[in-house]
């Protein structure tokens, strides 16, 4: 949009290059699953921001709750709690399954991951001494951009800045059923052995419930074996639900698809559909290990964010948005599979509910085709369907993640655009 150029130019001048790389859409306002700029353009949102707006954009219920909270009291910190913080941790603990009955609030997903790493190692030390400190995670995983989160991540290029990697972080193949040939649990124990890691030295296994870069889920049998393995070796199983939580996958919690419950679950993004807040939920015996006053963070449980999270959760539950994600997801994935049958540029369709990953490849191979994926996103955005830039391996996965309030008509409208774009780009 030419009118947006002066804004983009200012951003380019004053922000670091690292902030670039997205379609040039300057948001003015958004509502439900629609996004508008200031010049009369509108898009069906297939991004939810970055998987934030689970309950929809600018829901009046969330806005009202934030405004009410702001006009009653705006400032607080972790030292002096608010009633809304108490209500939020209580509500989350009530809706989460046992044993996830204590909740620690933070601000970002990365911070929740850092906290989980610290809890795993504290737990490990309490059980096995200094050696029980290894954090096992997965190839191609993304857990955020802070130091520990990136060491636990499985994308080597993102770790280049670190220089000196902690050998206590070990990655094993993610069983994606596409690039990883063997998706059986034997791959997990073999990879540990190959890395010289004894099971008794593992403090925790950290896993995105589905991999954000591809939207791939692991096979349920794999996860059930992993759950048993963690219990047997007294290692904590941590599900990073920063993307998967709060209905996104067609279930309230992503781990429900596997029939397991982790020892710790990490939330962010869609927890509030709006303001920045994250949470570590877990076994009380684990969360209570660090002493009083030892896990502080200034904005922990900020009342504005708590009010937003409470209002968002109420909408997710009352409107059964997980159920809507399941129903709309069936339509979405059905159509995407039909596209895959027609277009050899689609190597894999992954995801569940209202998250899908369309892996673009060079026809006939599994090699990622980032240029093709980028063209798909660009052409969709030009035609009124908003997506962020391609993600994942080779930057070749087109990610579809609309707000969970989207209805069939809008979903089909977007899919018609996507189909037209594939026809155009493959001819
Ligand atoms: N975990 C996962 C699975 C994520 O997708 C992200 C963000 N994309 C994070 C952690 C980090 O969250 P944040 O950007 O809020 O620090």
What confidence tens digit (pLDDT) does each residue in 161-176 have?
999 999 999 999 999 9
Determine the distance separating the centroid of ligand 1 and the alpha carbon of 50, expressed in angstroms.
9
136 vs 277: CA distance, rounded Å: 26
- Is 232 in contact with 200 (CB distance < 8 Å)? no
Q: Are 145 and 224 in contact (CB under 8 A)?
A: no
- Cα separation, 203 vs 132, in Å, equals 5
Please give the distance of CA 195 from its chain centroid, rounded to a whole number.
Answer: 27
Closest CA to 421 of 369, 380, 389, 361: 380
pLDDT level of residue 210 (50, 70, 90 thresholds): very high
CA of 113, closest atom in ligand 1: 10
Q: Span 383-395, mean pLDDT?
A: 97
Q: Is any atom of ligand 1 closer than 6 Å to the C-beta of 140?
A: no
Please determine, for residue 87, whether its predicted confidence score (pLDDT) is greater than 80: yes
Query: What's the CA gap between 357 and 336, in Å, rounded?
Result: 10
User: What predicted TM-score, i.e. pTM, was given to this entire model?
Assistant: 0.98
Q: What is the mean pLDDT of residues 303-312?
A: 97
- Residues 84, 89: Cα–Cα separation, whole Å: 9
The confidence score (pLDDT) of residue 78 equals 78
| Ligand 1 site, residue 142, Cβ cutoff 6 A | yes
170 alpha-carbon distance from chain centroid: 21
Sheet strands side by side (includes 42-45):
29-31, 34-36, 42-45, 385-386
pLDDT of 113 > 90? The answer is yes
Residue 46 near residue 401, CB atoms below 8 Å: yes
Taking only the tens place, the pLDDT of each residue in 214-273 is: 999 999 999 999 999 999 999 999 999 999 999 999 999 999 999 999 999 999 999 999
129 pLDDT more than 90: no
| pLDDT score of 59 | 98
* Pocket residue to mutate for ligand 1, from 22, 109, 140, 211, most atoms within 8 A of Cβ: 109
The better pLDDT of the pair 182, 240 is held by 240
- Residue with CA closest to ligand 1 atom 12: 109
Cite the beta strand spans of 102-201 per DSSP E: 102-106, 134-138, 169-172
Helices (H), 271-342: 284-287, 303-318, 321-342
**Ligand 1 within 6 A of CB of 247:** no
Does 364 have pLDDT greater than 90?
no
> What pLDDT is stored for residue 29 in this prediction?
97
Atom 10, ligand 1: residue with shortest CA distance: 143
CA nearest neighbour of 31 among 1, 55, 51, 2: 55
Report the CATH fold assignment for 2-55+320-426: 3.90.1150
Cα Rg of the chain, angstroms: 21
Percent of the chain past pLDDT 70, that is, above it, reads 100
- pLDDT band at residue 76 under the 50/70/90 scheme: confident
Token pair in block for residue 325: 């994600």
CB under 8 Å to 61, separation ≥6 — which residues?
311, 314, 315
E strands present in 197-321? 202-208, 236-240, 264-267, 278-282
**Inter-residue contact 279 to 305 (CB < 8 Å):** no
Of the candidates 266, 411, 319, 322, the one whose C-alpha atom is nearest the C-alpha of residue 62 is 319
Per cent of the chain over pLDDT 90 is: 94
Is 160's pLDDT higher than 90?
A: yes
Would you place residue 80 in the very low, low, confident or very high pLDDT band (cuts 50, 70, 90)?
confident
Side-chain half-sphere CA neighbours of 65 within 13 A: 24
State mean pLDDT over 117-125.
98
Q: What are phi and psi of 423, to 5 degrees?
A: -60, -45
For position 74, what pLDDT does the model report? 74
Q: 151 CA to middle of ligand 1, Å?
A: 14
Atom number of ligand 1 nearest to Cα 278: 15
CATH architecture designation of domain 61-318: 3-Layer(aba) Sandwich (3.40)
Judge contact between 426 and 343, C-beta under 8 A.
Answer: yes
- Which ipTM was obtained for this model? 0.99
Q: Ligand 1 within 6 A of 243 CB?
A: yes
CA of 112 to the centre of ligand 1 (A): 9
How far apart, in whole angstroms, are the C-alpha atoms of residue 108 and residue 110?
A: 5
pLDDT tens readout for residues 1-11: 788 999 999 99
Look up tokens 């809304």; give the residue.
84
In this prediction, residue 128 has a pLDDT band, given cuts at 50, 70 and 90, of confident
Confidence check: pLDDT of 73 > 80: no
Asked whether the beta carbons of 264 and 286 are under 8 A apart, the reply is yes
Average confidence (pLDDT) over 27-56: 97
* Ligand 1 neighbourhood includes 173 CB (under 6 angstroms): no
- Measured CA distances, 98 to 265, 286, 393 (Å): 11, 13, 35
b or e along 93-127 (b: 16 or more beta carbons within 10 Å of the residue's beta carbon)? Answer: eeebeebbebbbbbbbbbbbbbbbbbbbbbbbeee
- H or E, element range at 354: none
How is the chain split into domains, by residue range?
Answer: 2-55+320-426, 61-318
Instruction: Determine the residue of 110, 207, 309, 389 to mutate for testing ligand 1's pocket, defined as the one with the most ligand atoms within 8 A of the Cβ atom.
Output: 110
pLDDT, residue 34, reads 98
Is the CB of residue 208 below 6 angstroms from any atom belonging to ligand 1? yes
Asked if 357 contacts 392 with a C-beta cutoff of 8 angstroms, the reply is yes
Question: What is the mean pLDDT of the segment spanning 314-328?
Answer: 98
pLDDT tops 90 at residue 79: no
Residue 50 has pLDDT above 90, yes or no: yes
Number of helices (H) and strands (E) in the chain: give both, helices first: 13, 14
121 lines ligand 1 (CB under 6 A): no
3-class SS of residue 359: strand
Measured from the Cα of 149, ligand 1's closest atom is 10
Residue of 234, 224, 183, 175 lying closest to 204 (CA atoms): 234
Residue 140: the pLDDT is 97
């Amino acid at each position: 949009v030419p009118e947006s150029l002066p804004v983009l130019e200012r951003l380019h001048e004053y922000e670091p290059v690292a902030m670039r790389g997205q379609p040039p859409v300057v948001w003015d306002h958004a509502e439900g699953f629609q996004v508008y700029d200031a010049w009369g353009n509108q898009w069906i949102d297939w991004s939810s921001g970055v998987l934030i707006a689970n309950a929809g954009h600018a829901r009046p219920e969330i806005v009202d709750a934030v405004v009410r909270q702001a006009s009653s009291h705006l400032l607080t910190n972790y030292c002096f709690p608010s009633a809304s913080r108490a209500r939020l941790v209580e509500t989350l603990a009530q809706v989460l399954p046992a044993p996830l009955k204590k909740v620690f609030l933070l601000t970002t997903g990365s911070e929740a991951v850092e906290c989980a790493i610290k809890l795993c190692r504290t737990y490990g030390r309490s059980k096995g001494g200094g050696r029980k400190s290894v954090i096992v995670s997965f190839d191609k995983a993304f857990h955020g951009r802070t130091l520990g989160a990136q060491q636990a991540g499985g994308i080597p290029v993102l770790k280049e800045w670190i220089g000196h990697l902690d050998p206590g972080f070990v990655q094993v193949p993610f069983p994606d059923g596409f690039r990883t040939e063997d998706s059986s649990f034997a791959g997990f124990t073999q990879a540990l052995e190959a890395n010289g890691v004894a099971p008794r030295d593992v403090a925790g296994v950290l896993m995105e419930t589905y991999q954000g870069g591809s939207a791939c889920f692991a096979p349920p049998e794999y996860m059930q074996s992993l759950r048993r393995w963690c219990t047997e070796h007294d290692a904590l199983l941590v599900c990073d639900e920063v993307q998967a939580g709060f209905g996104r996958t067609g279930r309230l919690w992503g781990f429900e698809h596997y029939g397991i419950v982790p020892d710790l679950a990490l939330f962010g993004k869609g927890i509030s559909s709006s303001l920045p807040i994250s949470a570590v939920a877990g076994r009380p015996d684990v969360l209570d290990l660090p002493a009083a006053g030892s896990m502080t963070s200034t904005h922990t449980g900020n009342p504005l964010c708590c009010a937003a999270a409470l209002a968002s959760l109420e909408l997710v539950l009352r409107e059964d948005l997980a159920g809507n994600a399941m129903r709309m997801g069936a339509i979405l994935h059905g159509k995407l599979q039909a596209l895959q049958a027609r277009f050899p540029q689609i190597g894999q369709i992954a995801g569940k509910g209202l998250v899908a990953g369309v892996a673009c490849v060079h026809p006939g191979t599994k090699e990622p085709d980032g240029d093709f994926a980028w063209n798909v996103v660009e052409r969709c955005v030009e035609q009124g369907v908003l997506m962020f830039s391609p993600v994942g391996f080779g930057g070749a996965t087109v990610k579809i993640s609309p707000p969970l309030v989207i209805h069939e008509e809008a979903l089909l409208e977007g899919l018609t655009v996507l189909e037209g774009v594939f026809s155009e780009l493959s001819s």
